[in-house]
Amino acid sequence: MARKRSTTLTEAELLLMDVLWKKGQATVGEIAEALPARLERAYNTVLTTMRILEEKGYVRHSKPAQGRAFIYRPRVARAEATRSAVHELLRRFFDQSHEALVLNILQDEELDERERQRIRELLDQFDQEAPS
């Protein structure tokens, strides 16, 4: 039985989406050129990944009046992709428990006191803004 294709972004897909979110639009060649040198990707690899992203609904392409290369544009904003990834994380690892996710983050030994204080401030701000 074939594995169900994930609707969230893989690491490779996220790299390409980062380029598109920054540029707004780009050809496959422009995306490949914009990748960090340490991650040089072959044109065909980038093209294949862009087709997968289009199937997943993250990008769309158009053919310009002049030239042959398709121009790709994001269909999903970074914030929407982030929310989708967090929801998937909640579902897969935390049994839909926001509390378990937050506790996991707060118990992280790499979280310094400045970050913990900023989280407290954000929670206080959220409590003040939330409707009663």
Could you report the per-residue pLDDT of 38-85, keeping only the tens digit for each? Answer: 777 788 999 999 999 999 999 999 998 888 889 999 999 999 999 999
Write the single-letter amino acid at 67. G
Strands 71-74 and 59-62: antiparallel
Closest CA to 9 of 39, 53, 41: 53
Map out the domains of the chain as residue ranges: 1-93, 98-132
Q: Average the pLDDT over 28-45 and give the result.
A: 87
The CATH number fitting domain 1-93, selected from 3.40.50.150, 1.20.120.420, 1.10.10.10, 3.40.50.300: 1.10.10.10
What percentage of the chain carries pLDDT values higher than 70?
A: 95
Residue 28 near residue 46 (C-beta atoms within 8 A) = yes
CA distance 104 to 132: 27
**Taking the complete model, does pTM exceed 0.85, yes or no?**
no
What percentage of the chain carries pLDDT values higher than 90?
A: 62
Q: Average the pLDDT over 96-102 and give the result.
A: 92
Q: Quote the pLDDT of residue 48.
A: 95
Residue with tokens 């690899």: 45
CA distance 54 to 103: 36
